[in-house]
Amino acid sequence: MYNVGFISLGCDKNRIDAEVMLSLLSKNGYNITNREEDADVIIVNTCGFIESAKMESIETILEMAQNKEGRCKSIIVTGCMAQRYKDELLKEMPEIDAVVGVGSYRDICNIVDRTLKGEKGIIKTDSIDYNLDLEERILTTPSHYAYLKIAEGCNNNCSYCIIPKLRGRFRSKKIEHILSEAKLLAENGVKELILVAQDTTLYGTDLYGKKMISELLLELEKIDGIEWIRLMYCYPEEITDELIETIKNSKKILHYFDIPLQHICNRILKRMNRRTTKEQIINLITKIRKSIPDAIIRTSIIVGFPGETEEDFNELKEFLDKYKLDRVGIFTYSPEENTPAFYMKDQVDEDVKEERKDILMKNQAHISAIKNQELVGKILDVIIDGVNKNGLFYGRTYGDAPEIDQNVFVKGINLNKGDIVKVKINKSYTYDLMGEVVEA
């Protein structure tokens, strides 16, 4: 039996592809190992979204290739970077034996077999507009939560983004396949479902001729064992009153709105080819907070987009200062070849980008510290994710997605991963909380 080592980088949608590949490999007789030195084959599932992700992918490939001095016979590169740079990867990195694009991951067993027989230079990049079906997975998350991909691809064509070229047009997974997968996850102990896509709010428009995200959420809510449903990647212009009401009236759908805004200046939004305006964004935030007062709003912001002036940046800063969003990820613009923004002439200097990012990060840290301080003395539901080296349990509130948001450190006994317990918050930090379990 051959051993396969697997490293997956990038987003949670990429992680799901990795989990499908792990299941296929396991079902076809390969042993999955966490020890790279024991692997006969090492697969690196890459991200190719922005420059920092590409560099991480390259560094990981080179690091894993060192195992060829030992037991490892082949290195296979999968994912977005393999799709985007298939020829360049094989040319510049002879350590790689095969590249497998995002539309070809279901053929991973055949590719592994071919490399073990000594074949090199394999390129497998089928159509990126492949159909989405029900696929078995081996979870790489803790057993109590799982990501659930409800659609693939994107039609938004933001001027800075390469994803439509890598992942294809937007296509929804059939509702019956999503429900079957969710029931299977629940039967295996998953309590928190995290719904992902490039744009979850457009779910169903291609298959059913209308937005079906509310209907999907209501069906998922009926599944026994699922206690929390978290919706990610909701584009602001597609969040309807119906969706807000569905979330408001649900006992399982978390009051958590992940809304990638990217900017607030109308001129920059237009250059980004975003389909919303400052006025619409402000109206949406106001509407959500009026309808659901305890709503947590997360967003991502890009600074230093081509043409962003000091005035544009100050407008963004003033917006974040005024509306005090709960979770804000701030990124510097990364010029990606073959995107319209890459060819814009008024690029912003890197040092200016970094300076603007630092200003917003410091401001957001102050906002976060104040919001966390306001939670001291409150009792919140917390899902337990594990225990740290100091023996403290840690978990998350409804307002915190795994790996990107903050933690609650919990004093308690006899807790298990996946337990949802009531915790009294007794101390706050800039990005984390401390508390102790209390009786329900």
DSSP, residue by residue, 359-401: HHHHHHHHHHHHHHHTTTT-EEEEEEEEE-TTS-EEEE-TT--
Mean pLDDT value of segment 80-85: 86
At 130 the pLDDT is 66
C-alpha to C-alpha distance for 225 and 39, rounded to whole angstroms: 36
What is the percentage of the chain residues whose pLDDT exceeds 70? 98
380 Cα distance to chain centroid? 25
200-232 confidence digits (pLDDT tens): 999 999 999 999 999 999 999 999 999 999 999
Q: What is the pLDDT of residues 230-266, one digit of tens each?
A: 999 999 999 999 999 999 999 999 999 999 999 999 9
- pLDDT band of residue 439 (cuts 50, 70, 90) is low
Predicted pLDDT at 126: 76
Put simply, whether the predicted model's pTM sits higher than 0.85 gets the answer yes
For residue 36, the Cα-to-chain-centroid distance in whole angstroms is: 25
* Region 169-174 average pLDDT: 93
- Of 7, 3, 8, the closest CA to residue 37 belongs to 3
HSE of 434, CA atoms in CB hemisphere, 13 A? 7
In this structure, of 66-70, 313-317, 381-385, the range with the lowest mean pLDDT score is: 66-70
Tell me how crowded residue 67 is: count the other CB atoms within 10 A of its CB: 19
Q: Please, where are the H alpha helices in 67-174?
A: 80-84, 86-92, 108-116, 163-167
Quote the mean pLDDT of the chain. 93
SS3 220: helix
Region of 209 please: left (phi>0), alpha (psi -120 to 50) or beta. Answer: left
| pLDDT of amino acid 81 | 86
Identify the residue with better confidence: 331 or 85.
Answer: 331
Whether the CB-CB separation of 84 and 14 falls below 8 Å is answered with no
- Choose the weakest-confidence range: 134-138, 148-152, 269-273, 399-403: 134-138
Q: What is the pLDDT of residue 131?
A: 66
pLDDT tens by residue, 7-58: 998 888 888 989 999 999 999 999 999 999 999 999 999 987 777 878 888 8
Mean pLDDT of 169-197: 95
Residue 406 — very low, low, confident or very high, per pLDDT cuts 50/70/90? very high
CB of 334 closer than 8 Å to CB of 51: yes
- Can you give the pLDDT at residue 199? 95
Between 211 and 166, the higher pLDDT residue: 211
